Chain A
């Protein structure tokens, strides 16, 4: 059993949810509806708050004591996402003054709008066509807003994080209370992971000096759309939880973020890569912890197909790996409950009189579950119900993380077939290079590094090490590696010198420019 699993941190006092299994295994909590960008946004909310308090990435009061108050910024959000008529009004050829008036009047009828006092805007726009300027700015900020699930209600839409003045929490549809649908705490988990990572100081330093915290022009623009006293939330958010004090993934994630943040990339261009690599590590964390819980010692394997025109053996293997990995988390949940059942405590309890009551108590202590249990009063039924309920709950959200994150970051796709598999797209490959190649690296070494660090397999050398001889086919993997090279070459990220030698290049490396 892996060492880190021995010391699982205790959860804070009685908090929701009432079934502490997924949370105990991975943290509070994975939520598949919170896509990678939303995770990053939630992280930024936490980070910005903690930075303000002078304790960014430090758990000063001990593990899992994070507590923060996010912003609401209802004015900004109303202007951007609950302002349907502004475009039509600005097209009108009437005097500026009457445009403002008309706009303010119609605001009364907008659903869900809060306190429609936007008088402050008048002093911010002073040109002869002030209203049109205002409309242009709104349309510009809207056009760069994060296009995450367009059907969402306005209170769950997010402006691009240009700076602190663009951060706010997710709210429910009346825009009054904090909502956990899209900010489901995965960002908090990400924050805690970085708090406990090897390179947290460097991450803090680099993030703090990023344009995001430099009050850029676009951040100022977002601030100009808000009244002087930006309202903060009434919600005090706490009860974040990450069960392990250390994990290799924590360190790998911080290492990758440092590498990315150190690149010379203009503006906010590094954000998508931070988002992707963070989500990739969160996914790896889920898989690796699950494997350790299951006590499977063989390394995590992710055979990746560089999409081929025809069906190949690599595709088959990639599909298989995907399916096996996709089951890991559910199996881990079952194993976790089995471990309770196998524990001495449980075994003794079922031998003694009052077994059911004792067992129920054990479960209430261990997984905070059982108080509402109404089934047959036998320990067997009790634990079976727990197992079923846990699996059911797990399947609703947490079990989907591998698939949804994988798809969102461009690692998993159905491209060219009907089955899901690992078939990384260009953005994902770029992200891997930017995070791992500081200037240049020989292509084979790069492939080996991807295998060693992430379990990703592209070429024959790595495949040969882990695949049994009856499924390993050198030729298929060689062509897969060739396709990888072609793809990277076409992206300008590989330079081939001659038949035997190619280098992966990082165009954003400091040392090159």
Chain B
């Protein structure tokens, strides 16, 4: 069971060797297993920068969060260029390689594989030779065919910070501004600069997860585990929770639900590096609150089975880091992000009825059986039923049962999130199990069609327009065919806006139209076309979508949302007003100097906005 020990090292254990590319390989060697391998989505493009037909060669910077795979990719390049692997194994953060090119020329490739390890510590002076090298780098990227090219791997923060600590000079400042522009504006290159910039944190984590998960579950180590297991109640036997968790993970439904969560994180700009994804998988399979480091070791398992503690190893809980202490969990970004969905704490009456009365109520019985009773591992066992009965009967002295039962409910709700099949997710309102009740619509009715280059359903677009109109006017309007551009007169951010500037058509009309599209970063956006030339767009992330959907369907501003979404929408209105002003200017409409007309909106009982035109002679 060396393999289990090895994958445990990817998890949230105190000494996790498998955090760094360098140590993973050592630890794999020691355990005699292959590390988890898959092709990084950017690998092809990065290696392509150094292929023979990539001319001219340019410098490359790999940046991203810790655990994004920078060192790994750099090593791939090193190997590809014929670098000495022994040299790579040294701890030197700076390596050099001479590259012979066709035609008898050669170039020096400088590898700075860890900028923070190479640059002097905060407060120390830069050494002369390092300064010279940096200077060379700064100059080389502005040359047409430089003799030196650089490969630098650095966390983006370190990159900016190192450059800030460099003695100021024209070239240094110029390069720093360049980095800022590349980073903040998510660019890969800038015209006239011989530099390719790969920000690995901008890659979709969902795509990474698909690859990581596939490599994880298809690893040959699992086959060995099956072979090595000796009895049903032994490690990796039929009753072993690790084996069960592994098999659950292989289930398309479970995997796809995890992927959904990660995809939603992507669309909230919460990036999860590879290291975090591996940690998630390792913890999902091996997590158990009663073991050292809250992760099962092969030798712990027989005892867990004997003591009937297998249910505490539930993958459904482990995915959310529930096996870890609260402090530990909060410190790990993937669990922190997943926590924001509040899965386990959010619910609907329907769901809770199934969980509580499912085995006695006839109409709920089928669902109860399907999702709870049939799950002999993590479903409703005897202890669940007995505590539930105590909870329902609820005597005053019995203060433990409610608490205990509510905790059990949390894990059962989590289980349901992974068990409700796709075809029932609508009926059972799967996403009511999260705080984002409209996340399902967002995934399936917004992202999915957009990724397939289709348009989104009219009903969804109407809902968004209604939501926008309600915020724009501050009134409970129901119009979804036109966007109402209204102001209060003095502030574009006012709560109630009665002065109607214009109505913009949702369907195409004289160049006006409102669409939902993907932007260049692959994020959904609302695009308002005011004319052929003038467009204003607004990124439609999950939170904004949820907010507008609730405003449109439930009316009032959802109290659980902070002011931020509301202000976001108002800021968008400001931009639309500015765009509208621009259009008016371009149209060359002259104001009548003797009259002033105003459209004032009021709202009819049906929620239809009515405007009253008031004219004043001036």
Contacts and interface: CB of A to CB of B under 8 A. Distances in A.
A123 B600 contact: no
B64 interface: yes
B493 interface: yes
Interface in A112-150: 123-127, 133, 136-137, 140-141, 143-144
A379 to B, nearest CB: 56
A274 to B, nearest CB: 13
Contacts of B493: 269
A125 B492 contact: no
Contacts of A507: 571
B498 interface: yes
A499 interface: yes
A495 B618 CA distance: 47
B492 A267 contact: yes
B371 to A, nearest CB: 36
A491 B564 contact: yes
A426 interface: yes
A143 B487 CA distance: 12
A492 interface: yes
B278 to A, nearest CB: 17
A144 B494 contact: yes
Question: In which size bucket is the chain A interface?
Answer: 35 or more
B596 A220 contact: yes
A124 B594 CA distance: 10
A266 B161 contact: no
Contacts of B571: 492, 507
A497 B618 contact: no
Contact of A440 (B164, B180, B271, B612): B180
B615 A127 contact: yes
B56 interface: no
Question: In which size bucket is the chain B interface?
Answer: 35 or more
In terms of DSSP, what is the predominant structure of the interface of chain A? mixed
Contact of B612 (A136, A269, A500): A136
A266 B536 CA distance: 15
Contacts of B491: 144, 267-269, 272
A137 B614 contact: yes
Most chain B beta carbons < 10 A, residue from A143, A160, A266, A513: A266
Contact of A492 (B65, B156, B568): B568
A223 interface: yes
A266 B616 contact: no
B600 A140 contact: yes
A442 interface: yes
B596 A501 contact: no
A217 B614 CA distance: 13
A28 to B, nearest CB: 31
Contacts of A123: 617
Contacts of B158: 500-501
B479 interface: no
Contacts of B65: 498-499
B488 interface: yes
Contacts of A241: none
B577 interface: yes
Interface string B221-239: 0000000000000000000
Nearest to A267: B492
Contacts of B349: none
Interface in A461-513: 490-492, 495, 497-501, 503, 505, 507, 513
Given A440-B180, A499-B155, 13 more contacts: A124-B617, A125-B616, A140-B600, A160-B489, A266-B581, A440-B184, A490-B564, A498-B155, A498-B156, A498-B157, A499-B65, A501-B156, A501-B157
